[in-house]
A and B are shown apart, each in its own frame.
Chain A
Amino acid sequence: MRPHQDQLEQRLRREKPEHAAPFGFTERVMSKIPSDARSSFRSDSHPQQLLWPRLATAFALLAIAAVLLPELASQKSTHFTSGQANPSSSPHGDTSTALITEPLPLPTITQQQFQALTTQLDDPLEKELNNVISDTRIAIQFVAANFIPDR
């Protein structure tokens, strides 16, 4: 059985049909590349490569801020309370009271500024969502046009 198989394998390797690509094939492929593919090679790879890291960075920053801000706030409040409880620890007896009574120099944010910031943060997500909706709509139309029989 084995010699038969070896001969069969040899024949399969030796007798394979060969065809040459039509004349001018390479030129036809290359003529399509600079105008068509090269531009989309850039546009295909870049948005995907750039948009997701940006979104990921934005989310990471937001997450860090969400974790750190309450912690910082609680640290400040404990600092103030301990200062108030032990006023003698300070060389000037009334400074702790001054720390509590004086308002912190925080910048005031108007409602318009806050809304603008929210819109700016939501913008990439909204765009992405619109793209997904649009792609889904096109896909459904394509499927409906091609796969549902006319009858």
Chain B
Amino acid sequence: MTVLDETEESLEQLAAKARAGCSHSFERVVEQTKDRLFTYLIQLVGNEHDAEDIAQESFIKAYRHLHQFDGRARFTTWLYTIAKNTAFTHLRRRKFHQPIEELEDVLAAESRPFTDAADSIWNTARQLKPKFYETLWLFYAEGFSLKETAAIMNTNAITVRVNLHRARAALEKKLTRVGLQPEGRTL
């Protein structure tokens, strides 16, 4: 998560300035959020090329609809929701024969496992159901709250809590099965 200095403006303040017409403020928003969003989109679509296209489109959409950002949620929550919807639209455009309900599975199937050893727990997590993986990612990797995760996933906080519990249990089982203990030591 981006740590802000006291003198540094928050994303919400920068967004407000950008809404008033200051494009430099929006440039700073892009600068501060691009890596995080890019990483999230790679998790979602599985390749850098698509992730870059979607990230670019998401930022442009965010700028166009800045007047709709009311500041009730954090800016990142709003941006991630746009990015997720854009990813779905992007994929739907490419796979128009696929029923919409199957898109979640398509996203997971397209994703390739990462090769870094440090990513191994996330590689194992990728074998979980897509909604479990996404819940784990948004909550633990991105640091969103239950409510924010729910907003991005277009569900409610109780469902997120249940999914988190099930995802952790399933991950623990998988880690034990592949010979990795949850605390990181090899069996």
Point out residues on A near B: beta carbons under 8 Å: 4-5, 7-9, 11-13, 15-22, 25-26, 28-30, 32-34, 36-38, 40-41, 44-45, 146-147, 149
Contacts and interface: CB of A to CB of B under 8 A. Distances in A.
Interface residues of B, number: 46
List 10 tightest A-B contacts by C-beta distance, closest first.
A16-B141, A12-B140, A7-B183, A21-B34, A8-B182, A21-B38, A17-B119, A19-B39, A146-B96, A29-B59
A147 to B, nearest CB: 6
Would you call the interface of chain A mostly helix, strand, loop, or mixed?
helix
19 contacts: A5-B172, A7-B183, A9-B140, A16-B141, A17-B116, A18-B35, A18-B39, A19-B35, A19-B38, A19-B39, A21-B37, A21-B52, A22-B48, A25-B34, A25-B55, A26-B27, A28-B56, A32-B60, A146-B93
A105 to B, nearest CB: 50
Given A12-B121, A19-B42, A25 B141 contact: no
Contacts of B101: none
Nearest to A28: B56
Contact of A7 (B116, B119, B184): B184
B26 A17 contact: no
Determine which residue in A12, A22, A26 has the highest number of CB atoms from chain B within 10 A of its CB, and name it: A12
A26 B31 CA distance: 6
Contacts of B118: 15, 17
Nearest to B68: A45
A13 B140 CA distance: 5
Contacts of A28: 56
B64 A19 contact: no
A72 B156 CA distance: 55
A108 to B, nearest CB: 48
Determine which residue in B96, B97, B175 has the highest number of CB atoms from chain A within 10 A of its CB, and name it: B96
A15 B141 CA distance: 8
